[in-house]
Amino acid sequence: MAEHGSNGTPLVRGAIEQEGQLPTVENTIIIGSGPSGWTAGLYTARANLNPLLITGNDFGGQVSITYEVENYPGFPEGLSGPELVDRMKVQAEKFGLRVEYDHVTEIVVDRHPFLVRTANGQEYAAKSLILCTGASPRYLNVPGEKELTGKGVSYCATCDGFFFRGKDVIVVGGGDSAVEEGLFLTKFASRVRIVHRRDQLRASKILQTRAFANDKLDFVWNKVVTAIHHGEDGKVSGVSIEDTVTGEKGELKTDGVFIFVGHVPNNALYHGKFDLDEDGHLIADTRMRTNIPGIFAAGEIMDKVFKQVATSVGQGCAAAMQAEKFLAELDSEGYEGVQHDPRRWPKPGQQPLELAAHGPEVRGWE
Ligand SMILES: Cc1cc2nc3c(=O)[nH]c(=O)nc-3n(C[C@H](O)[C@H](O)[C@H](O)COP(=O)(O)OP(=O)(O)OC[C@H]3O[C@@H](n4cnc5c(N)ncnc54)[C@H](O)[C@@H]3O)c2cc1C
């Protein structure tokens, strides 16, 4: 007969027992507090799974650094990213989602229940995981960028725009984020120049129309930033640029550099454990299943195509529904049964993960 924790779930036996700790086995732990994480939290909470969400260092994820979200259905007037995150959190907590302000440093997936370790020194066990770790800004990787971050180099106009009141700034990039944030910066800066490597924008037409109509916004076409410089005060004073067509080099004087050149998936936890695509996204099937039974993925950590709040929310919902289904099957069949579920998704030419490989650490719920 298994021992039970305060929430009625069995206590883990295994590696952590040796350390004298017996954490309660959570039904599901959601990692990440972006839109997909909150949605997974809402659905699993409403399914009475008593879920736990671990926020990560970037509370609210990318949307929380977004000045205005106009394309999330149900909010015709638009709303700020932080407000949207707050509403998602309140709604999920209303149904019982528990939230930990912590950052996951390791997940152990070659045993079940899985283990989750955090920067605050916590160790959790969970029957299922929903990975919602999203993406982070891509760096230019040019001299001066790292040293001057926080001293004029920024990846968040909403956070830092205020500090550039009456100043000159450049924005690097040509997609939706670059144009949207460039437009936002015109509220503070005296001049905003968008430096783009091509001669046309990738941004949506509606944003382009607004950008071209804005007097404070200019474009520097066919240029890449090759270095960021500082003045005697240690703050950004200008950038070196290079023409992508002619190779001609030049300088731009400016007080701030806002960089929006794409994102990279936050996959540090997954290397060597999960199937990743060539860009480092988790590979999940249409039911959000990763290659490890009981572990699901949602949002930009697995989606490199759509990358929107609305799509991340949809994926979070789907992952939660799958986790609920997995837990129901686990209850009746044990982890062994679930592992050998013929509906599971083996990679082409591969057998499903062998339960035997996990040996005695794999536990049922007897
Ligand atoms: C400037 C900007 C403007 C945007 N504007 C819009 C818009 O107007 N409309 C729109 O639809 N989309 C917009 N987007 C895109 C949208 O924000 C993203 O698609 C969405 O946030 C992705 O959600 P996500 O759930 O995948 O996670 P993310 O938002 O990427 O969040 C990832 C979460 O994972 C957490 N995390 C990472 N690693 C760990 C770890 N080891 N342990 C614990 N937690 C971890 C982070 O703390 C974070 O909370 C914008 C993005 C940016 C950057």
Domain-embedded: residue 253: yes
Instruction: Report the CATH number that the domain containing residue 231 is assigned in CATH.
Output: 3.50.50.60
Residue 130 structure tokens: 């929903």
Domain-embedded: residue 113: yes
Which residues form the domain of 326?
Answer: 15-136+264-356
Ordered DSSP codes for 111-164: SSSEEEEETTS-EEEEEEEEE---EEEPP---TTTTTTBTTTEES-HHHHGGGG
Domain-embedded: residue 1: no
The average confidence (pLDDT) of the chain is: 87
> For ligand 1, what atom is nearest to the CA of residue 181?
1
Task: Clarify whether residues 312 and 276 are in a common domain.
Answer: yes
Instruction: Pick the catalytic residue from 102, 160, 176, 255.
Output: 160
Mean pLDDT throughout 141-161?
90
Task: Clarify whether residues 273 and 248 are in a common domain.
Answer: no
Q: Which of 239, 261, 283 is the last residue of a domain?
A: 261
Residue 76: cis peptide before it, omega within 30 degrees of 0: no
**Is the pLDDT reported for residue 140 higher than 90?**
yes
Residue nearest to atom 50 of ligand 1 (CA): 63
Task: Clarify whether residues 65 and 35 are in a common domain.
Answer: yes
Beta-bridge partner residues of 194: 171, 219
**Is the pLDDT reported for residue 338 higher than 80?**
no
Task: Clarify whether residues 132 and 238 are in a common domain.
Answer: no
Instruction: Pick the catalytic residue from 58, 110, 156, 285.
Output: 156
Instruction: Enter the pTM of the model.
Output: 0.79
Residues 6+ apart with CB under 8 A from 79: 68, 69, 72, 87
Among 206-210, 297-301, 319-323, the range scoring the smallest mean pLDDT is 206-210
Residue 290 pLDDT class (50, 70, 90 cuts): very high
- At which residue do the structure tokens 């049922």 appear? 364
Angle between helix 35-46 and helix 81-94 axes, rounded to 10 deg = 20
Residue 65 structure tokens: 């650094």
- CB distance 152 to ligand 1 below 6 Å: no
Task: Clarify whether residues 90 and 43 are in a common domain.
Answer: yes
Q: H-type helices in 47-132, by residue range?
A: 81-94
- CB distance 54 to ligand 1 below 6 Å: yes
Q: Which residue spans within the chain are E strands per DSSP?
A: 25-31, 52-54, 98-100, 104-108, 114-118, 123-131, 135-137, 153-154, 168-172, 191-195, 217-220, 223-230, 236-243, 249-253, 256-259, 263-265, 295-297
Q: Which of 232, 261, 290 is the last residue of a domain?
A: 261
Distance CA 31, CA 309 (A): 17
Residue 304 pLDDT class (50, 70, 90 cuts): confident
User: Which range, 18-32, 78-92, 328-342, is most confident?
Assistant: 78-92
Q: What is the pLDDT of residue 305?
A: 82
**Is the pLDDT reported for residue 112 higher than 50?**
yes
Domain-embedded: residue 2: no
Residue 10 carries which DSSP code?
Answer: B
Task: Clarify whether residues 201 and 132 are in a common domain.
Answer: no
Task: Clarify whether residues 271 and 132 are in a common domain.
Answer: yes
Q: In this structure, is the dihedral angle defined by the CA atoms of residues 176, 177, 180 and 182, taken in order, positive or negative? A: negative
Q: How many domains does the chain have?
A: 2
Beta-bridge partner residues of 236: 230
How buried is 360 (Cβ within 10 angstroms: 0-12 exposed, 13-18 middle, 19+ buried)? exposed
Phi–psi pair at 221, nearest 5 degrees: -85, 155
Domain-embedded: residue 198: yes
Task: Clarify whether residues 130 and 196 are in a common domain.
Answer: no
Mean pLDDT throughout 270-283?
94
pLDDT per residue as tens digits for the range 154-198: 988 877 888 899 999 999 999 988 999 999 999 999 999 999 999
Task: Clarify whether residues 252 and 317 are in a common domain.
Answer: no
Residue 113's CB: how many other CB atoms inside 10 A? 29
Task: Clarify whether residues 58 and 120 are in a common domain.
Answer: yes
Q: What is the pLDDT of residue 145?
A: 96
- CB distance 299 to ligand 1 below 6 Å: yes
CA-closest candidate to residue 45, choices 329, 365, 316, 363: 316
Task: Clarify whether residues 257 and 269 are in a common domain.
Answer: no
Task: Clarify whether residues 126 and 272 are in a common domain.
Answer: yes
Domain-embedded: residue 298: yes
Domain-embedded: residue 6: no
Q: Which of 245, 261, 277 is the last residue of a domain?
A: 261
> For ligand 1, what atom is nearest to the CA of residue 105?
41
Q: What angle do CA 310, 314, 316 make, to 5 degrees?
A: 115
- At which residue do the structure tokens 């659905």 appear? 43
Domain-embedded: residue 146: no
**Is the pLDDT reported for residue 307 higher than 90?**
no
